[in-house]
Amino acid sequence: SQQGEEDPQALSIQEGENATMNCSYKTSINNLQWYRQNSGRGLVHLILIRSNEREKHSGRLRVTLDTSKKSSSLLITASRAADTASYFCATVGVSGGGADGLTFGKGTHLIIQP
């Protein structure tokens, strides 16, 4: 089954710095999605990038996708304390129909030090 693996498992940076998280997966995908989870809450969708796209932006977020390396990265620029959360990548395979379930990695725990 598809499964993204995030790297690093934990990341601590100073407020204002950029944070980069990586995701690797095993087989071909239709798209890759990034989610954020604040402590004690459900996951919140951040961005979806399709397999034919290489880069996508949303506010301070930049996502890249390299299908040849089966990897994606999430960059958060000018980090803020409120960005402290766990970040997950999730994939849906090419064989999946529209109703397939997303498979999540174990996440990167990001801590922004004030």
Partner 1 sequence: DAGVIQSPRHEVTEMGQEVTLRCKPISGHNSLFWYRQTMMRGLELLIYFNNNVPIDDSGMPEDRFSAKMPNASFSTLKIQPSEPRDSAVYFCASSLGGAGSSPLHFGNGTRLTVT
Binding residues (CB under 8 A) for partner 1: these are: 30-31, 33, 35, 40-45, 48, 88, 92, 96-107
Say if residue 7 is exposed, middle or buried (CB neighbours under 10 Å; 0-12, 13-18, 19+): middle
Rounded CA separation 97/13 (Å): 39
| Smallest separation, CB 70 to partner 1 (Å) | 18
> Cβ closer to partner 1: 45 or 57?
45
In 3-state terms the chain splits into helix, strand, coil percentages (rounded to 5) of 5, 55, 40
Closest of 95, 92, 74, 87 to residue 32, by C-alpha: 92
> Cβ closer to partner 1: 44 or 78?
44
> Cβ closer to partner 1: 30 or 73?
30
> Cβ closer to partner 1: 43 or 85?
43
| Smallest separation, CB 37 to partner 1 (Å) | 8
| Smallest separation, CB 15 to partner 1 (Å) | 27
